[in-house]
Structure 1
């Protein structure tokens, strides 16, 4: 089993959570990581980049074989590979009071890849991808 921090479509209730994690009862708790959350042009998932905002996400404990599948889905082919869509970076994880609670892998959007840089969209200022989708849905009505 591996613990991982997720902030986008692997969060509880989102489509990748339903596909990869739900059957394994992986959710452990809500938490935060420092970064900057962005929309990605033409994609239905977010990008986390380096930053100082507290981005809401979740800690999950996942079977190794499932996490290996998720690495491929996230476009993570190995450490430092330019073709990665996301890099896996070990980061400090915080609770809602800003206290350090863990050090876990987090998928950061690979901005070393020039194709990825072209797709970075607006900052998601609420720092919560699920809330951002709810706000967008309400605004479309």
Structure 2
């Protein structure tokens, strides 16, 4: 019985250690994304057509989202965005005309930024943004 408790304690400690070390901290995420443009689908539509976002994050907590139509080689819109990172979640505030977007538990792996997208607290699924060249 003592052996089982001993191994259970070790297993619990290892589980906690892996849990705490598997997420990137906010400063690391900040350093990976600032000054770069990240491209992907964040669920926006312009004139009833889906668009792809290209968000450039500035170090002052603001940025721009340049949106392009998928089927045309034409820019659809340029939106200002306020952004911040809190406990591994990326918040995108486009102002009163749009819902707050949250990419939860984001992870940056080289040229890819991945997280679970929520719009108005509704789960939109996993989203991956690709760093533009």
The TM tier, using the shorter chain, reads under 0.3
Q: Could you say which structure has the higher helix fraction?
A: 1
Report which of the two structures shows the higher radius of gyration computed on alpha carbons. 2
Q: Could you say which structure has the higher strand fraction?
A: 2
